[in-house]
């Protein structure tokens, strides 16, 4: 049996003695709470407890003796290693590091676990000059004693120690179009109940006319309205993740939710623009721009024509808070145009010699710039680019912001984390959903520029 085995047995015996002593102490405390307690019973129990206490002391002393013996054996082994004969051939005179009676920098007999060496490695990395000096001295000592054993190795020799580092905080999310136009619409709070929003639209108004003669009846036309029914829509998405991926992964649940939230925004915005019948592309009146070789200079008058139509449709309900919504490829194509002519009528905030201004805002951060007449531009890549006969056209929408209505729940989108539904598969179901409603038809007015002039742009400076 080895010394290590004896120490292990001594530790077990000490643990057993401590447990027995604690049991005796608990029994003594229980006896003292007995109302029928006698002095003889207490004396007997105290004696039993003291005997157990003495056994703990005896076992502790035995363990200490074994540990001291082990420490001495390790000292003897370290001394033997330092005084062992040199290798078959001693190092050359000029390769010897002569330290006289100095001890090694790191001594295993004083620090068996190498804590001092590890601490100096960390300290050297943090800029501790003294730690760096000790490490350098240690390496010189190693070269002196074991120079013929040291070899240069690469990271491939330590495949289990040189581990790859995953920069989880720098994960690349899926790029999405998100909701630039939706964020620019006039916001409303969605009512708490109902799946339809009803709006009254006056379709026949009163009449006023000049009185033909005194005492003649005033002009009268009976007003009439038509209900505009706006459906409440539900956008939802889900992702089932294994419990292992969530509990053993790094930020997996947050990555999934971020993607679901942005997918929700993209779907909502895409619906506003492209939904059948009620999407902006389907309610807007078209302004045709047909040209096989389009230029920005030719497109701009079409923009003015569209804005003219917006105001003509709204009359005294026009707020003047107009927007131009276009795809990013169209916005950059307009910026690439060069020319010597400029508008004859200047506009507030626009240099006369330019065709508008770019605000240099990032995508989805609001207004990207203004057109020559001061109309703000919203860039939205949910606008389709496969329109027209050649399936390569996009569109430009011109609207009054105050008549682009969007109702949303203030808490949307809502997040559901369901564990029971997939419990048998160790899965966690993550669901994101929200209710919303929208309309551009409270006051029909929207215009869109469409046609072959809006084919895939070529950036020629024209």
Non-local (6+) Cβ contacts of 167 within 8 A are none
Q: What is the distance between the alpha carbons of residues 313 and 87, in angstroms, rounded to a whole number?
A: 102
Note whether 443 and 403 are within 8 A (CB): yes
- Tell me the torsion sign for CA atoms 95, 97, 98, 101: negative
Q: What is the distance between the alpha carbons of residues 194 and 186, in angstroms, rounded to a whole number?
A: 21
- Tell me the torsion sign for CA atoms 381, 382, 383, 386: positive
pTM of the entire structure?
0.66
Instruction: Check if CATH label 1.10.287 holds for domain 3-72.
Output: yes
Burial class (CB in 10 A: 0-12, 13-18, 19+), 86: exposed
What is the CATH number that goes with domain 180-204+224-454?
3.30.2400.10
Task: Render each residue's pLDDT in the chain as its tens digit; 462 residues.
Answer: 687 878 888 888 888 889 888 888 888 887 777 777 788 888 888 888 899 889 989 989 988 988 888 888 888 887 877 765 554 455 554 555 554 556 778 777 777 667 777 777 767 767 778 888 888 888 887 777 766 655 667 777 777 777 788 888 888 999 999 999 999 999 999 999 999 999 999 999 999 999 999 999 999 999 999 999 999 999 999 999 999 999 999 889 999 999 999 999 999 999 999 999 999 999 999 999 999 999 998 999 999 999 999 999 999 999 999 999 999 999 999 988 876 666 655 566 666 666 677 888 899 999 999 898 889 999 999 999 999 999 999 999 999 999 999 999 988 999 998 888 778 889 999 999 999 999 999 999 999 999 999 999 999 887
Note whether 232 and 195 are within 8 A (CB): yes
Instruction: Copy the structure tokens of residue 299.
Output: 């497109």
Phi, psi of 164, rounded to the nearest 5 degrees: -70, 150
Give me the residue spans of the domains in the chain. 3-72, 180-204+224-454
Are domains 3-72 and 180-204+224-454 of this chain identical in fold? no
Inter-axis angle of helices 115-125 and 129-146, to 10 degrees?
130
Note whether 386 and 202 are within 8 A (CB): no
**At CA 216, angle to CA 214 and CA 218, rounded to 5?**
115
- Omega before residue 19 within 30° of 0, cis: no
Q: What is the distance between the alpha carbons of residues 176 and 182, in angstroms, rounded to a whole number?
A: 14
């Amino acid at each position: 049996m080895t010394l290590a085995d004896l120490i292990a047995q001594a530790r077990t015996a000490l643990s057993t003695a401590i447990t027995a002593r604690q049991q005796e102490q608990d029994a003594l405390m229980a006896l003292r709470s007995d109302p029928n307690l006698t002095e003889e019973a207490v004396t007997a129990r105290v004696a039993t407890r003291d005997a157990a206490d003495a056994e703990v002391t005896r076992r502790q002393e035995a363990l200490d003796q074994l540990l001291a013996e082990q420490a001495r054996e390790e000292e003897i082994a370290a001394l033997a290693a330092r005084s062992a004969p040199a290798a078959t051939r001693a190092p050359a005179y000029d390769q010897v590091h002569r330290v006289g009676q100095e001890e090694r920098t790191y001594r295993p007999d004083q620090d068996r676990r190498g804590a001092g060496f590890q601490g100096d490695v960390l300290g050297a990395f943090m800029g501790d000059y003294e730690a760096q000096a000790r490490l350098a001295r240690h390496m010189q000592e190693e070269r002196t004693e074991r120079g013929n054993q040291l070899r240069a190795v690469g990271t491939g020799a330590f495949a289990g120690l040189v581990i790859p580092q995953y920069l989880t905080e720098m994960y690349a999310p899926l790029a999405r179009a998100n909701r630039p136009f939706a964020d620019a619409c006039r916001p409303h709070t969605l009512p708490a109940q109902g799946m339809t929003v009803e709006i009254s639209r006056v379709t026949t108004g009163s009449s006023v006319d000049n009185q033909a003669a005194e005492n003649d009846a005033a002009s009268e036309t009976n007003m009439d309205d038509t209900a505009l029914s706006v459906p409440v829509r539900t956008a939802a998405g889900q992702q089932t993740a294994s419990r292992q991926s969530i509990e053993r992964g790094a930020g997996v649940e947050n990555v999934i939710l971020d993607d679901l939230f942005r997918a929700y925004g993209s779907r909502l915005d895409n619906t506003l623009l492209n939904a059948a019948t009620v999407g902006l592309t389907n309610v807007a009146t078209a302004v045709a721009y047909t040209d096989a070789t389009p230029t920005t200079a030719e497109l701009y008058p079409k923009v003015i024509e569209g804005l003219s139509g917006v105001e003509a449709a709204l009359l005294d309900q026009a707020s003047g808070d107009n927007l131009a919504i276009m795809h990013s490829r169209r916005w950059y194509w307009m910026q690439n145009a060069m020319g010597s002519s400029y508008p004859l009528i200047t506009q507030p905030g626009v240099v006369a010699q330019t065709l508008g201004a770019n605000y240099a805002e990032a995508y989805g951060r609001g207004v990207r710039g203004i057109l020559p007449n001061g109309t703000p531009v919203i860039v939205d890549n949910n606008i389709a680019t496969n329109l027209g006969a050649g399936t390569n056209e996009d569109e430009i929408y011109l609207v009054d912001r105050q008549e682009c209505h969007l109702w949303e729940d203030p808490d949307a989108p809502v997040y559901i984390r369901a564990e029971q539904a997939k419990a048998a598969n160790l899965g966690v179901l993550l669901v994101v959903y929200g209710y919303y409603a929208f309309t551009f038809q409270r006051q029909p007015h929207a215009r869109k520029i469409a046609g072959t002039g809006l084919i895939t742009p070529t950036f020629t400076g024209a």
